[in-house]
Amino acid sequence: MLEIAGLAKRYESRAGTVTALAETSLSVATGECVALVGPSGCGKSTLLRLVAGLEKPTAGRIRYDAGGERDIGVVFQEPRLMPWLDVAGNIRFGLLDLPRDEQDRRVAEALHLVHLEHAAKALPKQLSGGMSQRVAIARAIARRPALLLLDEPFSALDAFTKAALQEEILRIRDETGVGLIVVTHDVEEAVLLADRVAVMAGRPGRIALTLAIDLPRPRERAGHGVQDLRARILEALGQDRIETRAA
């Protein structure tokens, strides 16, 4: 569904050249969930922005073919809602090119998918952080994308809300068949969510290692399978000792 080959991005400025992403190749199958993990500044967001078409690559190509006109959705760390529009209005905002009755149908479908029917008329300032982020997910999913890009979507949330939303995004994937690329610096989250984890390294940004996560679902956060893979990835990141000390 998505094929990235030889993709690179350099930023030029008076201070010099930053290779945010060196030649990178990655493919994502229909309905697959790939997590990108890596230290701050290793090019995770750059890679997502290139895939989303928000920036132009310096080299390489991106082939996205989901059949028909199904597009790519994006969810950021902050919900980025319009404060003057209610929840339904925020979801509708991304659908204004569609006929009114189709908008209504999609808004209802998206609200149902994130279990926020009761909050349709609420304003963003009345929502908790977790609810706001569910609205952001609903807004993206309302366009029925074949691929959803999430850039550290849960890192601003408390541990309980985060765990609930991790389960929710997996349920949404099951119900819609949407593929996911999730950027996270939470290695446990990557192992819980992903079919494959790409471990990135910085200077220059690149994928250092890709690991298949062949654990059955639902996955148990504290189970051996999840924790063993988490330890392996932390080791690959060179962060195993730092995290152990912090914990």
The residue (of 74 and 87) whose beta carbon lies closer to ligand ADP is 74
Cα 215 to Cα 194: distance, rounded to the nearest angstrom: 10
Name the amino acid, one letter, at 192: L
Distance CA 225, CA 69 (A): 38
Among Mg ion, ligand ADP, none, what does residue 226 contact (CB within 5–8 Å per kind)? none
Q: Which stretch binds ligand ADP (CB under 6 A): 43-51, 66-74, 134-142, 229-237?
A: 43-51
CB of 72 to Mg ion, least distance (A): 17
Q: CB 41 → ligand ADP: shortest distance, Å? A: 4
54 near ligand ADP (CB under 6 A): no
Compute the least distance from the CB of residue 72 to ligand ADP, in Å: 17
Nearest distance from residue 42's CB to ligand ADP, in Å? 4
57 binds, among Mg ion, ligand ADP, none (CB under 5 to 8 A by kind): none
* x/- track of binding to Mg ion for residues 2-41 (CB under 5 A): ----------------------------------------
CA distances from 86 to 5, 126, 231 (A): 41, 10, 43
Q: Per rule CB under 5 A, is residue 45 in the interface with Mg ion?
A: yes
Residue 7 or 42: which CB sits closer to ligand ADP?
Answer: 42
HEC sequence for the chain: CEEEEEEEEEEEECCEEEEEEEEEEEEECCCCEEEEECCCCCCHHHHHHHHHCCCCCCEEEEEECCCCCCCEEEECCCCCCCCCCCHHHHHHHCCCCCCHHHHHHHHHHHHHHCCCHHHCCCCHHHCCHHHHHHHHHHHHHCCCCCEEEEECCCCCCCHHHHHHHHHHHHHHHHHHCCEEEEECCCHHHHHHHCCEEEEEECCCCEEEEEEECCCCCCCCCCCHHHHHHHHHHHHHHCCHHHHHHHC
Residues 202-231 that bind ligand ADP (CB under 6 A): 205
Query: Which phi and psi (to 5°) does residue 210 adopt?
Result: -120, 135
**Closest separation between CB of residue 45 and Mg ion, Å?**
3
42 binds, among Mg ion, ligand ADP, none (CB under 5 to 8 A by kind): ligand ADP
Q: Tell which positions 15-34 bind ligand ADP, by CB under 6 A.
A: 18, 20
Residue 153 is a binding residue for ligand ADP (CB under 6 A): no
Q: How far is the CB of 21 from ligand ADP (least distance, A)?
A: 7
Positions that interact with ligand ADP (CB under 6 A): 11, 18, 20, 38, 40-46, 205
Positions that interact with Mg ion (CB under 5 A): 45
